[in-house]
Amino acid sequence: MANLLALLLIGFIVWWFWLAKPSRRKAVTDSIDVIVDGGVYTPAVIEVTQDKPVILNFIRRDASPCAEKVIFAEMDVSADLPLDQEKKLELNPHQKGEFDFTCQMGMYRGKLIVK
């Protein structure tokens, strides 16, 4: 009986780590939620893949005017962020490197890493 349970457990672990993982990873890569609150972007460092379109889903919780814009200066991309709503920003990063994104005054700071 104990052996059977151990076998079932191993089977579950194999399924969980090797078979279930690819679909979960894909969902994370295609659309990433970014919370804007308390002076920080969460997550503040976002890793994406070169030439693979990705949606950054900004959710602004901070009412201060400071947070109302997000600017990717080097990529020439910016967006207005409505309060308590989702704002989808689609990027198709063609260039590898690290790109800062900030609010218009540079107080909120985040980094997009293209690999």
Q: Least Å distance between CB 69 and Cu ion? A: 8
Q: Considering beta carbons, is residue 9 or 105 the nearer one to Cu ion? A: 105
**Sheet bearing 69-72, strands edge to edge:** 45-48, 109-114, 97-102, 69-72, 77-80
Block residue for tokens 């690819």: 22
Q: Considering beta carbons, is residue 44 or 105 the nearer one to Cu ion? A: 105
Torsion angle, alpha carbons of 64, 65, 66, 69, to 10: 130
Q: Considering beta carbons, is residue 48 or 103 the nearer one to Cu ion? A: 103
- Footprint of Cu ion (CB under 5 A): 66, 103, 105, 107
End-to-end CA distance of the chain: 49
Nearest residue (beta carbon) to Cu ion: 66
Q: Least Å distance between CB 39 and Cu ion? A: 8
Q: Least Å distance between CB 82 and Cu ion? A: 16
